[in-house]
């Protein structure tokens, strides 16, 4: 009986550790590699612009805060679905249902709008990318036989002057709250 209790305690400790360090673990196990770029939409719908403005008042202009705010607004707005949906953030503000393509497009539009609001759009740009995920440097997509898993969209925020890049997966963030992911450029 003592052995079962000890195994249970060890299992609980391992599970709690994995939950607490999920971002670190994910970034060390999974790498995102770009295989293309999607259309970058501008936020021009009045509903979307009002939503962004009313949910980002008194915000700091630090890039990581803008990224985190954009992730939060994306998560707050969209619900994941595996069906075909709109990709245009100006339509997603109404339909609210998106797959990873819509999540990346919506995040990028929100982030670019916030960058412009804080006069950082001459220095930073958010772009939705088409990518593939690698688990310990092994591409996982060939193991799935569904068109849904042929690729995965995410977003990068790039400094136009220095080339510094932050990578995020807005659909992953919606469910796990993992903010940043590891990105390996082409």
Say what the pLDDT of residue 3 is: 87
Task: Give the pLDDT confidence of 101-155 residue by residue, as tens digits.
Answer: 999 999 999 999 999 999 999 999 999 999 999 999 999 999 988 766 889 999 9
Q: What pTM, to 2 d.p., does this model score?
A: 0.92
What ranges do the domains of the chain cover? 2-184
131/149 Cα distance (integer angstroms): 11
Please work out, in degrees rounded to the nearest 5, the angle formed at the alpha carbon of residue 107 by the alpha carbons of 70 and 141: 130
């Amino acid at each position: 009986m003592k052995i079962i209790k000890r195994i249970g305690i060890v299992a609980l400790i391992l599970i709690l550790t994995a939950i607490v360090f999920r971002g670190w673990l994910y970034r060390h196990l999974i790498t995102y590699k770009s295989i293309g770029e999607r259309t970058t939409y501008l936020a021009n719908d009045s509903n979307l612009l009002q939503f962004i403005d009313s949910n980002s008042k008194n915000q700091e202009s630090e890039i990581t805060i803008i990224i985190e705010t954009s992730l939060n607004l994306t998560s707050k707005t969209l619900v994941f679905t595996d069906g075909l949906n709109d990709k245009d953030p100006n339509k997603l503000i109404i339909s609210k249902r998106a797959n990873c393509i819509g999540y990346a497009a919506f995040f990028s539009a929100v982030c670019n709008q916030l960058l412009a609001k804080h006069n950082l759009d001459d220095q930073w740009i958010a772009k939705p990318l088409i990518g593939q995920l690698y688990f310990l440097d092994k591409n996982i997509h060939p193991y799935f036989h569904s068109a849904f898993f042929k690729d995965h969209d995410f977003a990068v925020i790039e400094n136009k002057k220095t080339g510094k890049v932050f990578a995020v997966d807005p659909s992953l963030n919606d469910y796990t709250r993992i903010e940043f992911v590891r990105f390996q450029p082409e």
